[in-house]
């Protein structure tokens, strides 16, 4: 899935050392489907050559507010109308100050005033400049304008100091642009997602588990954040999130009981709960406190007595107040997918269930990048979604919101 589709992105490059990253940033934007044009401030041209940006973007680079050679073709007002979003990276302390004051003394600041497109700011500067009260005041002003501000990364800076001030990686910037360009039906809503496998130990070194990687849950978290939600992710072992995912909190657990406790705590005050986690149904009744050693006999056997673990989905339904949170379960099936999922939906009492194939002749979604899901609602609604897990999540969430928020939900 190309996150930015065919969106038009105008990149304003400020005059900081991070400007050298601009060609790589342009390539990342284009790789995610965007058409990109670039504007350089006068100071930015000291760090990155306009020809480099022109080559990677396939568009001429603008820098002068009044360019006699280009004013008839694309003047600054027309350029301000062109993009779907504007990304300022790096947004230097100087550029932030001028933008907050409403100045229009060069092409970059004029475009920020003249555009109606969403604006995403990626500050990058020395740590002390970032923390200075003047900079923080300017950031509050820019946020009040509705601009999205991406917090800088922490690490070694060009000046040799350690701290806040690094421009985030290109994939993080792409994620924030996707959020700025998405409708916000989940703005102000809290979404909890539990994903990945659980482990139930036999002894200190052996456990019962499954092949889940948590990719579907991570895809749902990304899609929910694009739609404006505050996302709390509860993940089992081995789940990879990546630096681009914007989360309110990330709780990592191992056992079923740990996942249950984390989910129950996170769902307090939540609006949505999604349960794609591959929760283990069985645990060992008597867990050994030390490693079981093999005997010399090759005929040795080990008989385990298993007991049921807590049913997190059913317990969550019992714990909610009224219709909050909306609860969406998952059903991983090897046969009779829709029939088994519909039965599970009635038995658990959740609002909808999403059924997929695992380890069967029909397919295997464990660890795969693609999936086919059948969504089944308590009202009898059924719809199939297929494709990459991210594209399925992006298509599925708006449909669930339409279906489940259209009734008595406040």
328 to 78, 273, 369, 394: CA distances (angstroms): 46, 6, 21, 15
350 to 136, 154, 232, 266, 328: CA distances (angstroms): 44, 41, 19, 17, 6
- Output phi, psi for 278, to 5 deg: -90, 80
d(CA 194, CA 255): 13
**CA max distance for the chain:** 90
387-398 b/e (C-beta count within 10 Å ≥ 16 → b) = bebbbbbbbbbe
Nearest to 318 by CA among 263, 277, 359, 280: 263
Residues with Cβ within 8 Å of residue 64, at least 6 apart in sequence: 107
Give me the residue label for tokens 């790589």. Answer: 24
Active site residue 350: no
Catalytic residue among 24, 159, 287, 306: 159
3-class DSSP assignment, residue 330: strand
Tokens of 223: 């899609």
d(CA 43, CA 226): 33
d(CA 194, CA 232): 9
> Around Cβ 255, how many Cβ atoms within 10 Å?
19
CA dihedral 376, 381, 386, 388 (to 10 degrees): -70
Give me the residue label for tokens 């072992």. Answer: 237
- Output phi, psi for 375, to 5 deg: -90, 130
How would you classify residue 58: left for phi > 0, otherwise alpha for psi between -120 and 50, otherwise beta? left
d(CA 172, CA 152): 10
d(CA 254, CA 139): 39
Active site residue ranges: 159
């Amino acid at each position: 899935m190309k996150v930015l589709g065919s969106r038009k992105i105008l990149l304003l490059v400020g005059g900081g050392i991070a400007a050298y990253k601009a060609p790589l940033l342009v390539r990342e934007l284009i790789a995610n489907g965007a058409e990109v044009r670039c504007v350089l401030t006068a100071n930015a041209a000291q760090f990155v050559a306009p020809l480099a940006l022109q080559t990677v973007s396939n568009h001429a680079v603008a820098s002068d507010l009044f360019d006699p050679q280009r004013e008839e073709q694309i003047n600054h007002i027309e350029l301000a109308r062109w993009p779907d979003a504007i990304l300022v990276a790096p947004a230097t302390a100087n550029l932030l100050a001028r933008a907050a004051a409403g100045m229009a003394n060069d092409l970059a600041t004029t475009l920020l005033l003249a555009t109606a497109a969403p604006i995403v700011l990626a500050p990058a500067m020395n740590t002390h400049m970032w923390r200075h009260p003047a900079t923080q005041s300017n950031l509050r002003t820019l946020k009040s304008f509705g601009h999205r501000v991406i917090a800088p990364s922490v690490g070694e800076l060009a000046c040799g100091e350690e701290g806040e001030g690094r421009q985030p990686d290109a994939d993080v910037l792409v994620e924030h642009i996707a959020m700025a360009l998405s409708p916000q039906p989940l703005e102000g809503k809290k979404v909890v997602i539990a994903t990945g496998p659980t482990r139930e130990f036999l002894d200190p070194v052996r456990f019962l588990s499954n092949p889940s990687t948590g990719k579907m849950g991570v895809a749902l978290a990304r899609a929910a954040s694009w739609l404006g939600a505050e996302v709390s992710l509860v993940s089992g072992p081995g789940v990879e999130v990546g630096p681009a995912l914007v989360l309110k909190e990330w709780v990592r657990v191992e056992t079923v009981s740990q996942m249950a406790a984390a989910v129950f705590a996170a769902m307090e005050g939540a609006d949505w709960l999604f349960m794609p986690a591959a929760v283990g149904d069985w645990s060992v009744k008597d867990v050994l406190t030390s490693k079981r050693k093999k005997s010399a006999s090759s005929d040795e056997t080990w008989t385990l007595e298993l007991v049921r673990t807590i049913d997190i989905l059913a317990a969550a339904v019992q714990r909610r107040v009224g219709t909050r949170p909306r609860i969406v379960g998952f059903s991983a099936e090897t046969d009779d997918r829709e029939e088994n999922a519909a039965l599970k939906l009635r038995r658990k009492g959740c609002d909808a269930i999403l059924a997929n194939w695992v380890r069967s002749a029909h397919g295997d979604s464990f660890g795969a990048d693609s999936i086919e899901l059948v969504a089944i609602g308590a009202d009898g609604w059924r719809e199939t979604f297929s494709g990459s897990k991210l594209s399925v999540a992006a298509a599925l969430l708006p449909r669930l919101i339409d279906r489940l928020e259209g009734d008595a939900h406040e």
